[in-house]
């Protein structure tokens, strides 16, 4: 069962663990998903992803109550200037719910429940567009 008190739980930190893009530093820590996405967006202006491929970037989001999401963003040329980490969380969680959503027990239920809870947490904190490059233009 989903905890209904999680919606306003703030993010404690976002860690960029590694990236195939050399402009995105490894082991970078941010206080919000928007700050991390802003950093990635600025880095992609320095070194855009390849036109015919993508740069994989691993990251971890930790909420103040200990809830965690670990994932990977596959960043393409179309993603420059977008909140790619947030979008990777949403895309992964939606796919998890779609895949495991009918599960009623064990690991299947846990994965779907975790994904739903993570999505609920993100809904409490809409994107701050001012953190992305070009938004003030």
Q: What is the pLDDT of residues 4-35, one digit of tens each?
A: 567 788 999 999 999 999 999 999 999 999 99
Q: Are 122 and 89 in contact (CB under 8 A)?
A: yes
For residues 108-134, give the mean pLDDT: 78
Of the candidates 58, 85, 84, 69, which has an alpha carbon nearest to the alpha carbon of residue 117?
69
State pTM to two decimals: 0.84
Domain boundaries, the chain: 11-125
For residues 69-92, give the mean pLDDT: 94
What is residue 102's predicted lDDT score, i.e. its pLDDT? Answer: 64
Give the DSSP H or E segment for 97. helix 84-100
What is residue 4's predicted lDDT score, i.e. its pLDDT? Answer: 53
Q: Are 90 and 57 in contact (CB under 8 A)?
A: no
């Amino acid at each position: 069962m989903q905890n209904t008190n999680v919606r306003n739980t703030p993010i404690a930190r976002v860690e960029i663990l590694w990236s195939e893009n050399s402009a995105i530093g490894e082991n970078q820590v941010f206080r919000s998903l928007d700050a991390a996405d802003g950093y990635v967006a600025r880095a992609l202006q320095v070194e855009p992803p390849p036109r015919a491929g993508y740069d994989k970037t691993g990251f971890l989001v930790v909420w103040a109550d200990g809830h965690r999401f670990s994932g990977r963003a596959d960043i393409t040329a179309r993603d420059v200037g977008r909140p790619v980490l947030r979008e990777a969380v949403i895309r992964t969680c939606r796919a998890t719910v779609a895949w495991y959503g009918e599960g009623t027990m064990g690991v299947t239920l846990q994965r779907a429940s975790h994904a739903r809870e993570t999505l609920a947490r993100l809904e409490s904190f809409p994107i701050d567009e001012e953190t992305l490059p070009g938004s003030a233009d």
